[in-house]
Amino acid sequence: MARDTNSGPKTAGDGGIQSVARALSILELFDERRGTLTTNEIASLTGLNRGTAYRFCQTLRRLGYLEEIRQSTFRPGLKVLSLAQAALGGRGLVEMAMPRLQALRHDTCETVNLAIPDGSEIVYVARLLNDDLLALRLVVGSRLPMAVSSLGRAMLAFMPDDQVEEILSNSDFPRLTPYTMTDRAELREELARIREKGYAFNDQEVAVGVRGIAVPVLGTGEQPIAAINLSIARPLPEDEVDGKLAPMLLDAARDIGERARQLDQFGD
């Protein structure tokens, strides 16, 4: 039997840090596209051997961070949700923005989202759904690449050029649908259009049948701290976007940004 070079007792210091990093790398594999994973898949994605991956998964299961739904097949446990809720609950931005998001949901009857940047991804921190059966299967805490989502592009378009280039160089460009833009040069041209118009429009690039209109929320120094969007499961004529929906989003984003700057200035 081959020797397991990834196992064995861990001492304090670097060994302990390595174990924590490996455990976190397993948890980070799960997202809206990978709701369950087998031990073999986890081993392949992390580079751990199967025995070591299984032992880490069993430890995470005993601690409540994973559930074993059938033999050697895992999904995130309730402890992960608790951590996400605690982290998001501490963000004053969500609570402060909620009245405007609820007003948008009421006035448009469409799904409204608030997301923040995290590296080359966006993280959904608020999601107010409409009743459309085609609504995306995303929840608070879900992630998408900045480069493919309207929320991410709305923020990218108003970031400094060096920051944009750093994010794009570290970005995956997954082809989520036949309409997804995957060319970096084409995306740079799209970001220039977004800066000129003030909003991003995503036409079925994340899910077939779903369009997104997004605007950035600008904080101190006019830097994007978040973005809000409408997710709409129907064709959108240009005059409805330009004449109605985009102005409503821009007005809400300006108000949220102003409140965020005041919060930053005076503290919580």
For the segment 129-187, what is each residue's pLDDT rounded down to a tens digit?
A: 887 645 566 778 888 889 999 999 999 999 999 999 999 888 878 888 999 998 888 99
Q: What is the pLDDT of residues 81-132, one digit of tens each?
A: 666 655 654 457 888 889 999 999 999 999 999 999 988 889 888 889 887 6
- Give the whole-angstrom CA distance, residue 4 versus residue 51: 8
For the chain, give the number of residues.
Answer: 268
Q: What is the pLDDT of residues 24-59, one digit of tens each?
A: 899 988 876 788 899 999 999 999 999 999 999 999
Strand bridging mode 143-145 / 211-218: unpaired
The whole-angstrom distance between residue 235's C-alpha and the CA centroid of its chain comes to: 24
Strand bridging mode 211-218 / 200-203: antiparallel
Q: Token pair 């989520």 is at which residue?
A: 176
Classified as helix, coil or strand, 90 is coil
* R_g of the chain, CA atoms, integer Å: 21
74 pLDDT higher than 70: yes
Nearest one of 249, 247, 254 to 111, comparing CA atoms: 249
Q: What is the pTM of this model?
A: 0.68
